[in-house]
Chains A and B, each alone.
Chain A
Amino acid sequence: MLTKEDVKKIVNEAKTEALEEQDLLIYTLHKIQDHYNENYIPPEVAEWVGEELNVTPAKVYEVLTFYTMFSTKPRGKYVIRVCTSLPCHVAGGREIINALKDELKIDWNQTTKDGLFTLEETGCLGLCGVAPVIMINKDFYGDLTPEKVREIIRELRRGDSE
């Protein structure tokens, strides 16, 4: 959990890269979210960011809820972003989605009971050369097949229970 002091430090570090006032809100929110295993930004922390950058809480929430990479609710340890765009869709993406939902036993925007996985839809990840593609936290996986995607999930589960 970040403290108010931590937030202040992160914002101040970011400020060294600022060219103008107010060009840092989204940038800082990325940095804050990176600190949380649950891949989200708690409301009070968002408010502190606002205070440091002189932005009203309403504005911070507007930004948080507009962009899909941010979440105000805790997500799983692994956020699985599945590309549902047409290039992946026609290259076997449908089967990947079915396999994921079946393996995880959850639907879009849900988190598994053990808190490990959250399943989200995403637009193009810019890796159409190796479609279908998914992204788990900061790692990408391409040229997927249903078998491969099940194996990836099982691997992560195994790694986590060790």
Chain B
Amino acid sequence: MVGIVVVSHSAKAAEGICEIAREMGGGGGLEPVGGDPDGGIGTSPDPIGEAIEAASDGDGVVVLVDLGSAVMNAELAIEMAGVDDVVIADAPVLEGALNAAVAATSPSATVETVRESAEEARDVSKV
């Protein structure tokens, strides 16, 4: 199935977002990753690359990100990882992960359909 990686500046936040998403999405293929090389708040490409490899089973991977440097480090990780068909979703990280997790459970899911579902979360009103 299509894998999902959640990148946050906080490893705890990434883990929590995945916990929420797993409730809806059956739990498969969701990999949280976060923190800088010192374990503090931040992002770093090497662990993101490892998460992408862990989430991949050959059907591609959709990456959710929180803030700007997460985008840059995810881009670098994608360039350096040996996984094909990895895309970053331009979506709010929590709602996007939830949508992606649900979309990934469809038998006809592809990287594109999962990314589109994640990006639909940009238009959801809360109040």
A-B complex is real: no
Binding site for B on A (CB under 8 A): none
Binding site for A on B (CB under 8 A): none
